[in-house]
């Protein structure tokens, strides 16, 4: 809750006029308890999780010719009932998360030290914090993911997430409750180490969810702007991890590829890509021979 009764008091405390974004934030949050602002995160994530995977699923059902050329495992197509069941199983986590946030808010407020008031963070500050959060989350998640692929953890916990060998966007949050709890730690680690404004927190978790939906989408679009992100694995990288299943000891990193490269856990994926390239060259040679041309 912003501790200023009027906008004039807020501007006097800032020592300057509020920007349009700060004025909008003041109007929205001035009388709202901090616990409610904190719980906005879960509501925003629920909306994104509900909406973001739908376009590809709808196009796959009603206009397959548009998207199937980009599907990583085109022979596997989940029926709508399976996607709905996956969504319903995963979506039940969100109401529980809201209740847990209300109960644990006093402790979370001390741990996260999230700013709620004015001034709003600058664009440069927000970008720098999200870059730090991405690197921290990626490194910690890599090691937790490797742990989940040990025999006991996979059999008791991680096996649920790997029920989808050809994942869809909704499969991103489809996992054992213990896995959801454990994997929330790396995502929270960045904001704990580098406290931020609550709006940056909303943005960070939204970006992380959208990225997770993308890597589980089962589609690789060569014209996607994500290809410009350095060391970003994307859908093709993580889809192989699901394709290999429980025996996979490759591609553990959720965001980038440098951890798998450093610790040599990308060998299976490299072999898979090399095999695909050889098959493509063979098919091109056969096609050229049939047409009587030189290859």
19 within domain boundaries: no
Looking at the whole model, is its pTM more than 0.85?
A: yes
Total domains, the chain: 1
16 within domain boundaries: no
Residue-wise pLDDT for 253-267, tens only, equals 999 999 999 999 988
Q: Is a pLDDT exceeding 70 seen at residue 295?
A: no
Task: Provide mean pLDDT across the span 31-49.
Answer: 91
The radius of gyration of the chain's CA atoms, rounded to the nearest angstrom, is 22
- Lowest average pLDDT, out of 47-56, 64-73, 253-262, 274-283, goes to 274-283
260 within domain boundaries: yes
DSSP 8-state secondary structure symbol assigned to residue 122: P
Give the structural domain span for 206. 32-264
End-to-end CA distance of the chain: 70
What does the chain come to in residues? Answer: 295
Contacts of 27-30 spanning 24+ positions with Cβ under 8 A: 29/1, 29/2, 29/116, 29/117, 30/1, 30/2, 30/4
245 within domain boundaries: yes
278 within domain boundaries: no
Query: Which of 29-33, 90-94, 206-210 has the highest mean predicted lDDT (pLDDT)?
Result: 206-210
4 within domain boundaries: no
What pLDDT sits at residue 5? 82
Q: Where does residue 264 fall: left (phi above 0), alpha (psi -120 to 50 degrees), or beta otherwise? A: left
Neighbouring-strand partners of residue 197: 115
Please compute, for residue 185, the number of CA atoms within 13 A of its CA located in the half-sphere on the CB side.
12
Neighbouring-strand partners of residue 256: 232
Q: What's the rounded Cα separation, in Å, for the pair 210 and 40?
A: 17
Residue-wise pLDDT for 225-235, tens only, equals 888 888 998 99
282 within domain boundaries: no
Mean of the per-residue pLDDT values for the chain? 89
What pLDDT sits at residue 201? 96
112 within domain boundaries: yes
């Amino acid at each position: 809750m912003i501790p200023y009764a009027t906008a004039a008091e807020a501007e006097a405390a800032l020592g300057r006029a509020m920007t349009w974004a700060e004025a909008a934030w003041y109007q929205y949050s001035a009388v709202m308890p901090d616990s409610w602002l904190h719980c906005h995160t879960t509501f925003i994530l629920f909306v994104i999780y509900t909406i973001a995977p739908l376009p590809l699923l709808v196009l796959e059902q009603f206009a397959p010719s548009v998207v199937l050329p980009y599907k990583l495992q085109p022979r596997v197509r989940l029926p709508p009932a399976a996607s709905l069941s996956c969504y319903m199983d995963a979506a039940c986590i969100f109401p529980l998360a809201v209740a847990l946030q209300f109960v644990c808010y006093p402790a979370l407020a001390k741990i996260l030290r999230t700013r709620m008031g004015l001034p709003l963070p600058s664009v440069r500050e927000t970008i720098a914090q999200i870059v730090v959060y991405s690197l921290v989350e990626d490194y910690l998640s890599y090691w937790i993911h490797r742990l989940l692929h040990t025999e006991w953890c996979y059999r008791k916990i991680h096996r649920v997430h790997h029920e989808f060998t050809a994942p869809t966007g909704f499969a991103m949050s489809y996992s054992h409750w213990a896995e959801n709890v454990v994997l929330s730690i790396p995502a929270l680690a960045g904001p704990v180490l580098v406290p931020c404004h609550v709006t940056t927190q909303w943005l960070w978790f939204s970006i992380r969810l959208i990225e997770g939906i993308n890597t589980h989408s089962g589609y690789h679009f060569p014209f996607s702007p994500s290809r410009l992100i350095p060391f970003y694995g994307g859908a093709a990288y993580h889809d192989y991890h699901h394709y290999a299943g429980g025996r996979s000891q490759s591609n553990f990193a959720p965001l980038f590829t440098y951890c798998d490269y450093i610790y040599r856990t990308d060998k299976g994926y490299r072999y898979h890509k090399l095999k695909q390239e050889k098959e493509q060259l063979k098919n091109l040679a056969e096609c050229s021979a049939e047409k009587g041309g030189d290859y």
